[in-house]
Amino acid sequence: MVTLVVMHSGASIVFVSKIASKEMLEALEKNKVTIMVGVHRIYKLLADGIKAQIDSSFLARQIYKSTKFLKSMKIRKIIFAKVHKKLGNNLKQLISGGAKLDVEVGELFERLGFYITEGYGLTETSPIIAVATITERKLGTVGRLLPRTEAKIVEDEIWIKGPQVMKGYYNKPDKTKEIITEDSWLKTGDIGDIDSEGYLTVKGRKSSMIVLSNGKNIDPEAIETKIQTISKNLIKELGIVAKNEKLNAIVVPDLVEFKKQGKTNIQQYVKEIIEDYNLDAASYRKVLHFKLVEEELPKTRIGKLKRFMLPDILDDKAVKKEKVPEPDTNDYKVLRDYVKKIKGFEPGPDDNLELEIGLDSLDKVELLAYIENSFGLKLDEGKFSEISTLRKLSEYIKERAAEFYEKEVNWSEIIEKVPVRKIKSGWIVKVFRFPILLMLKAYFRLKRADKKKLSDEQVIFVSNHQSFIDALVVAGVFPAGILKKTSFLAIDLYFKKGFMKYVAENANIVVIDINNNIKHTIEEITNALKQGKNILIFPEGARTKDGKVGQFKKVFAILAKELNISIQCIGIKGAFEAYSRYMKFPKLRKIEVKVLEKFSPEGTYEEIAAKAENIIREYVEN
């Protein structure tokens, strides 16, 4: 329809042989294209690529932010001349149809100096109802109705009347009666509304809406768009589906982007992305479960998600990978049996180690240690992340390993092998202890409870993690003697270089990456403990997103048990309200730190971790 309109106006039409960036860019430049027509998915792909380049530069990010207050499209085009040149230097207008365009995508193109307009219609409306123009457009809407077209909203559904509405379905009077009323109103099946200026907004298909038993209507597309925006390209696509009145997400991570960003613990990062979304979502819109899949989600030819297929994917009833014979090698069988032992089920030879088998960071360390002990082959986590399946892993080992001597993983032996490297004296801690303590007391009215429970015995301190200043407020409880011999863990993101690296080296800070390189983390902590140091660990691995205590990772429990070091629990209250991960500046809120129970590391690693978690949870959440 759009093509016919453009041809009628006397313009030339350019077709591309396939939807690929190279072909599209060549066509735009070669033919001096001024108007581009496409479905929302094409613009989303283009927008993601452009936004990634903007985000990679601090200067570009600041310039982009400034265009929010700049209304002149000519000036915007001059500012982003490089983008216009990349898209042929003649492109002026982008027309989107076929499905709802994300408002964020439309805003990006507008701020780059392109006019972006949407049209809306159905095959049954020949096929257009409303369209936006360069002079009459409003982001998030599909424009105003065509002349002689009427629309009304009936129970949130868009009904249309006009000369473009069909007479009915050929030889299907019953089907026609279902969709066209006696007074000629067409029920579009789309949810939407019309504002006071006559602009029509289409919110989604009525059939796609998730309706809960409590009457709440949920637009899955809005949630999908929000989560993908939060993910910053780490999630390629996802589909929201309801099961037992709860929202679930089927997530396809972008493995290339994860590798590019140096992130290897996919399960953990996706979990944090979902939690970030849930923080501001209404209770009935929270995503309570997610499933990682490797294959692209099923879609129509124009890129619409086939939602009716999502429940089967969630329940593993969709078409699965074709059953393939397992490698008949000892290397493969040994690896398969070991993975079955640590995960509790038998993996397939071509299942993705992380997405489908679900190996987490600690699982990987155990598997790598097993490979080194049994095959005599040392494999680092970087190389391991490039090997995606058991089949490939067994082939890699077969090519390089000499012999096989099965030997169970022994954490005691792993820890024993960690070399001892001298730790610098933390002079910064000594010098700034009192000024920092005074500041904490004055600003946050820091209350320190049960300090008498502390002793000179070497311990592993564990605490809940609420804010940016947790390490400081916990340190405020320690007497000078204990503080002197206590090392603090910190994420390497903040202490990689420059002044902050210098601070880490001289303030008893052990820099680690608990999500990506768990082996290095264990080695760094072990090194400090072997020299008689105490260690302060936040076993949740990240600051809380809601103030509650999260699940404790068991690294500290392994070290405590194997080195026979007691665990001293410490609880923090009020720090989330004072300076959470979502605040730019701290607030005047009272913070309390309490020394809780100390116990010996008895039982399994999981039991030790659970005991510490429960002790701290009982204090913090009661």
pLDDT at 4: 67
**For residue range 157-185, what is the model confidence (pLDDT) as tens digits?**
999 999 999 999 999 999 999 999 999 99
Residues in the chain: 622
**For residue range 94-135, what is the model confidence (pLDDT) as tens digits?**
999 888 898 989 999 999 999 999 999 999 998 899 999 999
The SS3 assignment for 20 reads coil
The reply to whether CATH 2.40.160.20 applies to domain 330-404 is no
Residue 29 burial (C-beta neighbours within 10 Å; 0-12, 13-18, 19+): middle
Instruction: State percent of the chain over pLDDT 70.
Output: 96
- Going by their DSSP bridges, the two strands 447-449 and 287-292 should be labelled as unpaired
pLDDT at 452: 92
The SS3 assignment for 447 reads strand
Q: Is the pLDDT of residue 320 over 60?
A: no
pLDDT at 514: 55
Interval 355-384 mean pLDDT = 82
Q: Is the pLDDT of residue 491 over 80?
A: no
The SS3 assignment for 280 reads helix
pLDDT at 428: 85
Structure tokens given for 147:
């002349």
Interval 53-58 mean pLDDT = 87
Interval 318-346 mean pLDDT = 82
Domain 214-314 in this protein, CATH class: alpha beta
Instruction: Tell me which amino acid residue 325 is.
Output: P
Q: Is the pLDDT of residue 38 over 60?
A: yes
Find the largest Cα–Cα distance for the chain. Answer: 90
Residue 77 banded pLDDT, cuts 50, 70, 90: very high
Residue 296 burial (C-beta neighbours within 10 Å; 0-12, 13-18, 19+): exposed
Interval 195-203 mean pLDDT = 94
Predicted structure pTM score: 0.66
d(C-alpha 332, C-alpha 213), whole Å: 49
Contact predicate 489/381, CB 8 Å: no
Q: Is the pLDDT of residue 481 over 70?
A: yes
Interval 580-609 mean pLDDT = 92
Going by C-alpha positions, the residue among 131, 127, 385, 444 that lies closest to residue 256 is 385
The SS3 assignment for 225 reads helix
Contact predicate 187/157, CB 8 Å: yes
Mean of per-residue pLDDT scores for the chain: 88
Contact predicate 393/356, CB 8 Å: no
Going by C-alpha positions, the residue among 196, 207, 160 that lies closest to residue 181 is 160
Structure tokens given for 394:
């067994």
Residue 234 burial (C-beta neighbours within 10 Å; 0-12, 13-18, 19+): buried
pLDDT at 453: 94
d(C-alpha 110, C-alpha 496), whole Å: 37
Distance of CA 420 to the CA centre of its chain: 37
d(C-alpha 293, C-alpha 112), whole Å: 34
pLDDT at 7: 67
Per mean pLDDT, which range of 244-253, 320-329, 436-445, 513-522 is the poorest? 513-522
User: Phi/psi class of residue 459: alpha, beta or left (left: φ > 0; alpha: ψ in -120 to 50)?
Assistant: beta
Backbone angles phi, psi at 609, to 5 degrees: -65, -45
Interval 361-390 mean pLDDT = 82
pLDDT at 376: 84
Which H or E run includes 187? Answer: strand 186-194
Interval 597-608 mean pLDDT = 95
Interval 1-13 mean pLDDT = 73
Interval 404-412 mean pLDDT = 76
Residue showing tokens 């020394």:
595
The reply to whether CATH 3.30.420.40 applies to domain 1-120 is no
Q: Please, what is the Cα angle at 44 between 40 and 46, to 5 degrees?
A: 120
Of 21 and 72, more confident: 72
pLDDT at 375: 86
Structure tokens given for 143:
């424009």
Instruction: Tell me which amino acid residue 365 is.
Output: V
Q: Is the pLDDT of residue 190 over 60?
A: yes
What is the residue extent of each domain of the chain? 1-120, 214-314, 330-404, 427-620
pLDDT at 224: 93
Going by C-alpha positions, the residue among 548, 551, 556 that lies closest to residue 575 is 548
pLDDT at 285: 92
Structure tokens given for 528:
């400090």
Q: Is the pLDDT of residue 34 over 90?
A: yes
DSSP state of 352: B
**For residue range 524-566, what is the model confidence (pLDDT) as tens digits?**
889 999 999 999 999 987 788 888 998 898 889 999 999 999 9
**For residue range 210-253, what is the model confidence (pLDDT) as tens digits?**
988 887 889 898 899 899 989 988 999 999 999 988 899 999 99
Q: Please, what is the Cα angle at 354 between 352 and 360, to 5 degrees?
A: 155
> What dihedral do alpha carbons 13, 14, 17, 18 form, nearest 10°?
-100
Going by C-alpha positions, the residue among 404, 353, 412, 408 that lies closest to residue 383 is 353
Interval 61-66 mean pLDDT = 91
Q: Is the pLDDT of residue 2 over 80?
A: no
Q: Is the pLDDT of residue 468 over 90?
A: no
Residue 216, C-beta contacts closer than 8 angstroms, at least 6 positions apart:
284
